[in-house]
Structure 1
Amino acid sequence: MKRLLIIVCLVVAFSAFGQKDARWSAEKAKAWYAKEPFLVGSNYGPANAINELEMFQAESFDPATIDKELAMAESIGMNTMRVFLHDLLWQDPAGFTKRLDQFLGICAKHKIRPMLVLFDSCWDPYPKLGKQHEPVPGIHNSGWVQSPGAAALTDVSQYPRLETYVKGVVSAFKNDKRILAWDLWNEPDNTNDNSYGKNEKNIEPANKVAIVTNLLPHVFQWVRAAGASQPLTSGVWVYRGPADWQNPEKWTPMEKVQFENSDIITFHQYSNPTELEKVIPALQSMGRPVICTEYMARGVNSKFQTHLPIAKKAKIGMINWGFVAGKTQTFLPWDSWQKPYVNGREPAIWFHEVFKQDGTPVDPAEVAAIKQATGK
């Protein structure tokens, strides 16, 4: 009898462990989403931070600016923000945890629950701690850095460090209701062909996509093992048409990892409203909540006025790129990498951002559209 009791206990314990580390069921994900408001926000970094390192390092962390800018977000009804973290910040676990907790406190003050991004494959593959360089004049996102960088990504001996970072930061906030969700890896198969990928000094690893495709499932496992109570996701971003996303046989290996491991489905959509209307049903056919975690690029006809009404009707969250113009210079278009806006030249139409650095709207009609969508 005693031996049988031990076996039963082990089976129950193993079952509970498996459930803890398993992907959410579609029913659990839908129940979670049913309690959420219409999610509207921006990909956020303070105007005086060129990247995620400058945002969160002790020397440059600026709660006053964050508080001022998130008050602006609250004033137009935004209730979420997508915020990027970085593995190198975990070299100071106590300090970084304290600053992230302070940031979450400011978010809560303004009724904003952020989605936190753990890794990112975009832009400079050679990140370094310390003082970050000044923006390169006339270039979009000239100082954004990847996490992990190329050196760590291609060195398996550094993977335990990456695991420690992921489990450390998630464990610290695993039950924190101030956090909306965890976005495990932004655009994981992006090789930056239009920016750093063409710069011989900063060339990407030749097998980057294969490496990340193999690593991402482990990142999902690490986050689940850390006990995250919030949903997990990694968003698809290379738009190939709704039929391709709706048919598992047409998924790329990376999309397969993302779709099959995410609790909620997230995607990027820098295209016109007609294409948005096409892709939403394809993603919703997976039976899970859907959130667009990047959109709004005026130069490609992705706008607040057109996209927010479509999204609200379909009940999908919308998080645009950029909030207040600043060091990232993402009011400049992507092709500024090839054609820099120098000598004071500005684009006729700002690419991203909701507000100018002086706090005035880029376009008052856009702010009105956001307020209408959020009911502010």
Structure 2
Amino acid sequence: MPRSALFLALALAVQAPLAAPAVAQTEAASATRWTPAQAQRWYDKQPWIVGANYIPATAINQLEMWQAATFDPKTIDRELGIARQQFGMNTMRVYLHDLAWQQDPEGLKKRIDAFLTIAGRHGIRPIFVLFDSCWDPDPVIGPQRPPIPGVHNSGWVQGPSRTALVDPGQDARLRAYVEDIVGSFGNDDRVLAWDVWNEPDNPGGGSYNASQLAEERTRIEQLLPQVFQWARAKRPRQPLTSGLWIGEDWSPAANKLTPIQQVQVAQSDVISFHNYEWPEQFEARIRQLRLYGRPLLCTEWLARGNGSNVDTILPIARREKVAMVNWGLVEGRIQTTLPWDSWERPYTLQPPTIWFHDLIRKDGTLYRPREAEIFRQMEAAR
């Protein structure tokens, strides 16, 4: 059977109802992919999941957020408080990094625990992201470079690095990172879910699209199912996922999923996706993904200049019971209030009139108070 057909068959097969086991099995005890019924039971127990992709205003990337010298609990506490009080948010999607673990595994876990304590005080349970294929492919531990003036997300880093990714000798280290983090927090009720790899088929993004090594795509095809396996072997009580983000049609019958996307669909306990498009396109994505019979989480959205707006997208998601995690929360060093075209045309003289991402200004005031009202209305409607 061709590889694409095999992956699609696997993705479809997991939708079929399974016979009940002789001994009742909870999600927490399962070392295999959840059935659709298990995934739905988990989802039905949650409030309507709504939140943001989060990094504090004082951090330019994942390393600056998590390294000991720049970890900023005071800012995190203030910003998560605003997210909860003003927007009714109950989750944050938060990126970790293998280099932060390699440098200081015990220290990183202590900082994750501190973050979870802060988030828990505000009624927020994060989705942790383990790996990421976006932006700078050569991350370096230690002090991070300052933002490039006028450029969107100019300091974000991939993890693992491109050199580590293509080196099979690094697999043991990457596995140890996944197993240690998921093993340490996989039964912690303060964690909502695990996003094992952000946009694994992204060629870099922004200014880095030409920086991908020839072997990277093949290596990710090999590693992604292993990462799911490594995480799942620790028996987390939270679901695993990896989000679709590109392509014309994700529905099973279209048979247009790439090998990486087929792994994402076949291995995710709950289906996640990214969408920065107009409302009608957002609705089309929901229709396509409903066919897999699992709860849906939109883990990236909100690009005001691209047609993805709070006023139009959030009510659709609430009606369709789709979990929503927008990019991002606070104006800061990542500069994602600036649009994607700033990679080619930096906004150094005058910022754009309309923010691209984000909801809160550096000083803690709201970019647009009406958006906060809509969030609260949608959250209250649950």
Taking structure 2 as the reference length, the TM-score comes to: 0.90
Could you tell me how far apart the structure 1 residues matched to 2:370 and 2:30 are?
Answer: 46
Could you tell me how far apart the structure 2 residues matched to 1:234 and 1:210 are?
Answer: 17
Partner of 1:4: none
Partner of 1:77: 88
Matched, 1:44 2:49: no
From 202, 211, 224, give the equivalent of 1:190.
202
In structure 1, list runs of 5 or more residues that go unmatched: 1-11
Aligned-pair CA distance for 1:206: 1.8
Partner of 2:354: 349
Q: Pairwise mapping of residues 39-188 of structure 1 onto structure 2 (< 5 A)?
A: 39-75=49-85, 76-91=87-102, 92-188=104-200
Partner of 2:242: 234
From 357, 373, 379, give the equivalent of 1:368.
373
Aligned-pair CA distance for 1:20: 3.3
Aligned-pair CA distance for 1:336: 0.5
Cα pair distance change 1:64/1:193, threshold 3 Å:
closer
Aligned-pair CA distance for 1:196: 1.3
1:18-48 per-position Cα deviation (integer Å, ceiling 9, x unaligned): x832110110000000011111100000000
Could you tell me how far apart the structure 1 residues matched to 2:186 and 2:365 are?
Answer: 37
SS of residue in 2 equivalent to 1:42: strand
Partner of 1:3: none
From 213, 216, 222, give the equivalent of 2:224.
216
Could you tell me how far apart the structure 1 residues matched to 2:137 and 2:144 are?
Answer: 14
1:187-207 per-position Cα deviation (integer Å, ceiling 9, x unaligned): 000003532124xxxx22123
The answer to whether the 8 A contact 2:90-2:125 is kept is yes
The answer to whether the 8 A contact 2:132-2:159 is kept is yes
Q: 67-76 vs 189-198, which deviates more? A: 189-198
1:140-178 per-position Cα deviation (integer Å, ceiling 9, x unaligned): 010000000111001110110000000001100110001
From 214, 226, 230, give the equivalent of 1:206.
214
Could you tell me how far apart the structure 2 residues matched to 1:184 and 1:327 are?
Answer: 25
1:204-248 per-position Cα deviation (integer Å, ceiling 9, x unaligned): 21232221111100000000112211100000000413xx43326
Counterpart residue type for residue 341 of structure 1: Y
Could you tell me how far apart the structure 1 residues matched to 2:146 and 2:158 are?
Answer: 17
The answer to whether the 8 A contact 1:191-1:204 is kept is yes
Counterpart residue type for residue 359 of structure 1: G
Cα pair distance change 1:195/1:338, threshold 3 Å:
same
From 17, 22, 27, give the equivalent of 2:32.
22
The answer to whether the 8 A contact 1:239-1:269 is kept is no
Could you tell me how far apart the structure 1 residues matched to 2:57 and 2:341 are?
Answer: 21
Could you tell me how far apart the structure 1 residues matched to 2:364 and 2:357 are?
Answer: 15
From 300, 310, 314, give the equivalent of 1:308.
314
In structure 2, list runs of 5 or more residues that go unmatched: 1-21
Could you tell me how far apart the structure 2 residues matched to 1:86 and 1:24 are?
Answer: 26
Could you tell me how far apart the structure 2 residues matched to 1:215 and 1:181 are?
Answer: 20
Partner of 1:326: 332
SS of residue in 1 equivalent to 2:57: coil
Q: 299-308 vs 278-287, which deviates more? A: 278-287
1:76-113 per-position Cα deviation (integer Å, ceiling 9, x unaligned): 20001100000011121110000000000111000001
Partner of 2:261: 255
Percent identity at matched positions? Answer: 51
Could you tell me how far apart the structure 1 residues matched to 2:258 and 2:79 are?
Answer: 38
The answer to whether the 8 A contact 1:189-1:208 is kept is no
Partner of 2:3: none
The answer to whether the 8 A contact 2:137-2:204 is kept is no
Could you tell me how far apart the structure 2 residues matched to 1:342 and 1:307 are?
Answer: 30
Matched residues, number: 354
SS of residue in 2 equivalent to 1:195: helix
The answer to whether the 8 A contact 1:248-1:256 is kept is no
Could you tell me how far apart the structure 1 residues matched to 2:165 and 2:353 are?
Answer: 39
Partner of 2:302: 296
Counterpart residue type for residue 58 of structure 1: A
Counterpart residue type for residue 56 of structure 1: W
Could you tell me how far apart the structure 2 residues matched to 1:283 and 1:260 are?
Answer: 12
Q: CA RMSD in A?
A: 1.6
Could you tell me how far apart the structure 1 residues matched to 2:299 and 2:341 are?
Answer: 22
The answer to whether the 8 A contact 1:163-1:222 is kept is yes
Aligned-pair CA distance for 1:284: 1.4
SS of residue in 1 equivalent to 2:195: strand
Partner of 1:271: 277
